[in-house]
Amino acid sequence: MTSAEVVGPDRAPPLEEEQLPGGFRGAMERARLNLRTGNLGALPIIVGEIAVVILFGFTATNFFTSVNFVNLITESAGTAMLAYGVVFVLLLGEIDLSIGYLAGIGALIVAELQLPGSSWQMNGILAMLVAVAACAVIGGVQGSIVAFVGVPSFVVTLGGFLIWQGVILNKLQQRGTIIIQDRWINYTDAYIFSPTFGWLIAAIFTALYPGSVLYRKIVARGTQIAQQSWTSATLKTIGIGIAAFGTVAVANHGKIIETPEGLPLAGLIVVFFFVVLTFLAKWTTFGRHVYAVGGNAEAARRAGISVPRIRVLVFMISGATAGVGGIIFAAQVNSVALTFPPGNLLLNAIAAAVIGGVSLFGGRGEVRGALLGAILIGTLQNGLNTLNISNGWIYIVTGLVLLGAVTLDTVAVRLQARSGR
Amino acid sequence: MVEASRPGASTTLLPRQRPVMSDTPLLQIQGITKAFGSVQALDDVDLEVRPGEVVAIVGDNGAGKSTLVKCIAGTHTADSGRILFEGQEVHIHGPKDAGRLGIEVVYQDLALCDNLDVVQNMYLGRELNRGQILSEAPMEQHTTETLKSLAVTTIKSVRQTVATLSGGQRQSVAVARAVMWNSKLVVLDEPTAALGVAQTEQVLALVRRLGQQGLGVILISHNLHDVFETADRIAVLRLGRNVGVFERLKTTQQAVVEAITAGKPTKVAGIPSAAPAGAGA
């Protein structure tokens, strides 16, 4: 004590955070503190999702069936994929309006490449890789115009929006719908895992979060990033476990005529990208630089970060995830038609990310927000559909939820600012 | 990705203390000239900084202070003149070159990212990683140690975002970041411009500590109070020219003000250092 006082007369409390009591009580206290200071995290959206599921579970007769549940997963999968890309673009404080039709380009490329009888016909898996790579390159080109020439991303990607829409129109107006027969491509939507494999995936997914906590507690022992309490980690793990195992349980439960249902591949693809992109955003140098450029591009530049490089890479990610999403959407209908992309794909993807708490001004948000937002939008639209409510009302409700979520987030941020956190 | 200047060597600042005010100059600027079109921003300017010395550069708006800093930082290249660092002529072509020599610049408008925490800002652009995976633990430890060695003790947690810090704390983080990278010369551009009284004191104390730890410090300031609180020597620029170098203990604020507003170039007649200190009163 005395030796510490020698260091300086203006010695403030040591650098460690104030200790809250451990255990369950500590976790509750922390939660209450977070609530009061507006640090809500993913809580509102999870509560919202639960409320929506309960509401539709009681009102819509066909909602709470495993067949519909599997539909819900495959329907949300494409939106979630696009929303992942949106998260990265928004983290930079940019926007990508081209992803809806870029998804269409991805679908068009796989459809062309799998066409039986054509000279370029190739294996479905290879075709998908080529399509996703092509979308990444297109994203990179658009990103380069933003990064090196300095044209606002809104304008560049609005141009992309029109150009890729035009390309799809030109191609499909003369050709008509292209049917996708390749089973690998169609599997991205329709392949159903055996129940056992479904459980295995749920177990692995559930284990990832406590695994990362443990890793930090061992590797970063003694530092503040390792200071998460065991209680909160346990509670979160239980929550993730309920969601993962619950999903697989409901999916495994049903049967379409004689074919048993189960976890669809589309669900696994979405989870896979969720894990990979979360890792990229939170654990790698690249991810750190994305947040830095979004927070203060000038500071990032002065710190020696190549801002144009980060911008181009992010637009490449956005293009690639759009391509993957497009393939999943095409696989859903086993074809690419003039009606592609379905519905309000672009706006749904942006709404999903924004509902998930990603700031439009850059530097704030997480990949999980895109997943949660896409699930919420998917559930709402699916539930209203099963209730036979008109498309008009579905748009109105989606709009209101978007507005509500962003309002809540804005209020929360203001609360945080006031409480100095 | 790990650069030549690893922070491991620099986090323990205390053993590095050198005899204060060594005689070999750390930085010598000789006859630097820089013009932007027809505007002569710097005209035959000299400057010398020794290790452990705080040199203030003062002057009115447009005196060439910022241009001089940018020449040292490598943002601008001088039209003519020489820069010697530790006795050897160097050519600085960018912030990276400057960093490699051990020159760090802390800019007026604080090059920090508000959305990142203290550790993330300290290592911005120079993150420690294995493969591409961030090594958070050593970064956090070194940050804590660096702040401690500079007696920056008011920051509660190194994991709070910079947005939640006060102006003085933010400036301290920016200075600490400059110091952490094995730097020998720290250039501070108006470090107290936006700060309140108490916070200014906090930063000035930090500046003095940098000098005591053997670093060379260049302090750009408008505020003569700050300058007289910290600097060992005061170099005055006027219209891009040297108009005098004052020893802080042997001069008055009034003499410096006169040099700023009406100083005559010291090298015009080929007679260096006709310091207008005597001509003052």
Q: What is the pLDDT of residues A94-104, one digit of tens each?
A: 999 999 999 99
Put simply, the answer to whether A224 touches B107 (Cβ < 8 Å) is: no
DSSP 8-state secondary structure symbol assigned to residue A369: H
Query: B130: which strand partners?
Result: B133
State pLDDT tens for residues B87-146. 889 988 877 788 888 998 888 766 899 899 999 999 998 899 888 899 888 999 989 988
According to the per-residue pLDDT averaged within each range, which of A69-73, A283-287, B137-141, B186-190 is highest?
A283-287
Chain B touched by A10 (CB under 8 Å): yes
The reply to whether residue A295 touches residue B140, judged by beta carbons under 8 angstroms, is: no
Q: Where are the alpha helices (DSSP H) in A223-359?
A: 230-253, 265-283, 285-295, 297-302, 307-333, 345-355
Task: Using CA coordinates, name the residue in chain A closest to B3.
Answer: A304
Segment holding B28, helix H or strand E: strand B27-36
**A83 vs A2, residue with greater confidence:** A83
Helix (H) or strand (E) holding B229, with range, is helix B224-230
Beta strands in A65-158 (DSSP E): none
Q: Would you give the DSSP letter of residue B7? A: G
Give the tens place of pLDDT for each residue, A57-90.
888 877 878 888 888 898 899 999 999 999 999 9
pLDDT of residue A24: 63
Distances from the Cα of A146 to the Cα of A111, A142, A232, A311, B113, angstroms? 30, 7, 42, 8, 21
Task: Give the residue on B whose Cα is nearest the Cα of A286.
Answer: B132
- Residue B81 belongs to what H/E stretch? strand B80-85
Q: Is B91 exposed, middle or buried, given 0-12, 13-18 or 19+ CB atoms closer than 10 A?
A: exposed
Q: What is the mean pLDDT of residues A211-229?
A: 84
Q: So what's the pLDDT on residue A150?
A: 93
pLDDT bracket for residue B269 (50, 70, 90): very low
Which residues on chain B are in Cβ contact (under 8 Å) with A288? 116, 120, 127, 134
pLDDT at A418: 66
Domain ranges of chain A: 40-67+78-190+305-418
Q: Do B157 and A226 touch (CB under 8 A)?
A: no
Residue A15 to residue B120, Cβ atoms within 8 A: no
Our CA-based measurement puts residue B256 at a distance from the nearest CA of chain A, in whole angstroms, of 32
For A386, the 3-state DSSP assignment is: helix
Contact B167, B199 (CB under 8 A): yes
pLDDT grade, residue A411 (50/70/90)? confident
Q: What is the pLDDT of residue B10?
A: 41
Residue B219: per-residue pLDDT? 92
Cβ burial, residue A70 (10 Å; 0-12/13-18/19+): buried
Q: Give backbone dihedrals phi and psi of B11, rounded to 5 degrees, phi first.
A: -70, -30
Amino acid in the structure at residue B31: G
Question: Going by C-beta distance under 8 Å and a sequence separation of 6 or more, which residues neighbour residue A35?
Answer: none
| Distance from C-alpha of B42 to C-alpha of B48, rounded to nearest angstrom | 16
DSSP state string for A259-287: EE---BHHHHHHHHHHHHHHHHHHHBHHH
Residue B162's identity, in one-letter code, is V
**CA B241 to each of CA B8, B59, B217, B251: distance values in angstroms, whole numbers, following the listed order:** 40, 10, 21, 20
pLDDT score recorded for residue A211: 92
Amino acid at A195: P
**Amino acid identity, position B232:** D
A-to-B residue pairs, Cβ atoms closer than 8 angstroms: 113
CB contact under 8 A, A299 and B124: yes
Mean pLDDT for the stretch of residues A192-216: 91
State mean pLDDT over A386-397.
88
Using CA atoms, how far apart are residues A401 and A188, in angstroms rounded to an integer? 29
Question: Other CB atoms closer than 10 Å to residue B11's CB: what's the count?
Answer: 20
A13 pLDDT band (50/70/90 cuts)? very low
Label each residue of B163-226 as H, E or C. Answer: HHCCHHHHHHHHHHHHHHCCCCEEEEECCCCCCCHHHHHHHHHHHHHHHHCCCEEEEECCCHHH
pLDDT at A254 over 80: no
In this structure, CATH architecture of domain B24-115+165-262: 3-Layer(aba) Sandwich (3.40)
Angstrom distance (rounded) from CA A158 to CA A163 = 9
Cα separation, B278 vs B281, in Å, equals 7
Cβ-contact A380, A397 below 8 angstroms: yes
Range list of H helices, A183-229: 183-190, 195-219
pLDDT (0 to 100) of residue A36: 63
Contacts of B114 in chain A (CB under 8 A): 295-296, 363
Q: Which region holds residue A197: left if phi is over 0, alpha if psi is between -120 and 50, else beta?
A: alpha
d(CA B137, CA A222): 8
Whether the bond into A341 is cis, omega within 30 of 0: yes
Mark yes or no for CB contact A302/B107 under 8 Å. Answer: yes
Judged by a CB distance cut-off of 8 A, whether residue A219 touches chain B is yes
Q: How far lies A21's CA from each of A90, A269, A283, B12, in Å?
A: 37, 40, 29, 33
Would the CA dihedral through A229, A232, A235, A237 be positive or negative? negative
**pLDDT greater than 70 at residue A23:** no
- Whether residues B134 and A17 touch (CB distance < 8 A) is answered with no
Name the minimum distance, in Å, from the CA of B111 to any CA of chain A. 4
Confidence (pLDDT) at A34: 67
Contact A288/B at CB under 8 A? yes
Contact A406, A353 (CB under 8 A): no
CB A86 within 8 A of CB A318: yes
Task: Of A128-137, B167-176, B221-230, B248-257, give the range with the top mean pLDDT.
Answer: A128-137
Please indicate whether, in this complex, the C-beta atoms of A224 and B158 are within 8 angstroms of each other: yes
Interfacial B residues in 158-197 facing A (CB < 8 Å): 158-160, 164
Asked if A224 is an interface residue toward chain B (Cβ–Cβ < 8 A), one would say: yes
**pLDDT, chain B, mean:** 82
Query: How confident is residue A208, by pLDDT bands cut at 50, 70 and 90?
Result: very high
- Minimal Cβ distance to B164: which of A305, A364, A420: A420
d(CA B218, CA B57): 7
- Please, are residues A302 and B95 in contact by the beta-carbon 8 Å criterion? yes
Structure-derived torsion over alpha carbons of residues B69, B74, B80, B84, reported in degrees to the nearest 10: 80
| pLDDT at A251 (0 to 100) | 85
Instruction: Please give the C-alpha separations between residue B71 and each of A275, B13, B20, B91, B221, in angstroms, as whole numbers.
Output: 46, 27, 26, 10, 17
Residue of chain B whose Cα is closest to the Cα of A91: B115
Bridge partner list, B40: B35
CB spacing of B125 vs A7 below 8 angstroms: no
- Structure token pair of residue A337: 């038609």
Residue reference for tokens 């500046």: B207
Q: With contacts defined as CB-CB under 8 Å, which chain A residues touch B107?
A: 302
> Which long-range CB contacts under 8 A does A112-119 form with residues at least 24 apart?
A112/A178, A114/A180, A114/A181, A114/A182, A114/A185, A115/A178, A116/A181
Residue A285 to residue B96, Cβ atoms within 8 A: no
Q: Which of B95, B129, B137 sits opposite A304 (nearest CB)?
A: B95
ipTM (interface pTM): 0.82
The helix/strand/coil state of B90 is coil
Task: Give A-chain residues touching B129 at CB under 8 angstroms.
Answer: 284-285
Q: What is the band of A156 on the pLDDT scale with cuts at 50, 70, 90? A: very high
Q: Tell me the residue length of chain A.
A: 421
Lowest mean pLDDT among A34-38, A257-261, A414-418, B57-61: A34-38
Q: Any idea which of A160-164, B45-49, B61-65 has the lowest mean pLDDT?
A: B61-65
Which chain A residues in 306-335 lie under 8 Å from chain B, judged by CB atoms? none
Three-class secondary structure of residue B263 per DSSP: coil
- Residue A321 CA to residue A72 CA, distance in Å, equals 19
> Band of the pLDDT at B279, cuts 50, 70, 90?
very low
Band of pLDDT at residue A257, cut at 50, 70 and 90: low
The verdict on A5 touching B (C-beta cutoff 8 Å) is no
pLDDT value, residue B268: 52
Token pair, residue A299, equals 């500071």
Please name the residue of chain A whose CA is at the shortest distance from the CA of residue B132. A284
Q: Which residues of B touch A297 (CB under 8 A)?
A: none
Interface of B with A in 142-161 (CB under 8 A): 144, 147-148, 151, 153-160
pLDDT class of A27 with cuts at 50, 70, 90: low
Position A216 scores a pLDDT of 86
The closest of B35, B36, B53 to B45, measured between CA atoms, is: B35
Dihedral of alpha carbons A345, A349, A352, A354, sign: negative
Per cent of chain A over pLDDT 70 is 88
Higher pLDDT, B182 or A82: A82
Rg of chain A over all Cα atoms, to the nearest angstrom: 23
Quote the CA–CA distance of B39 and B35 in Å, as a whole number: 6
CA distance A81 to A318: 9
pLDDT for res A141: 97
Q: Which residues of B touch A13 (CB under 8 A)?
A: 156
Tokens of residue B102, six digits? 């051990």
Mean pLDDT across chain A, nearest whole number? 86
Which of B99, B113, B157 is closest, CB to CB, to A296? B113
Q: Do B124 and A286 touch (CB under 8 A)?
A: no
3-state secondary structure of B55: strand
**Amino acid identity of B241?**
R
What's residue A69's pLDDT? Answer: 85
Report the C-alpha gap between A296 and B62 in whole angstroms: 27
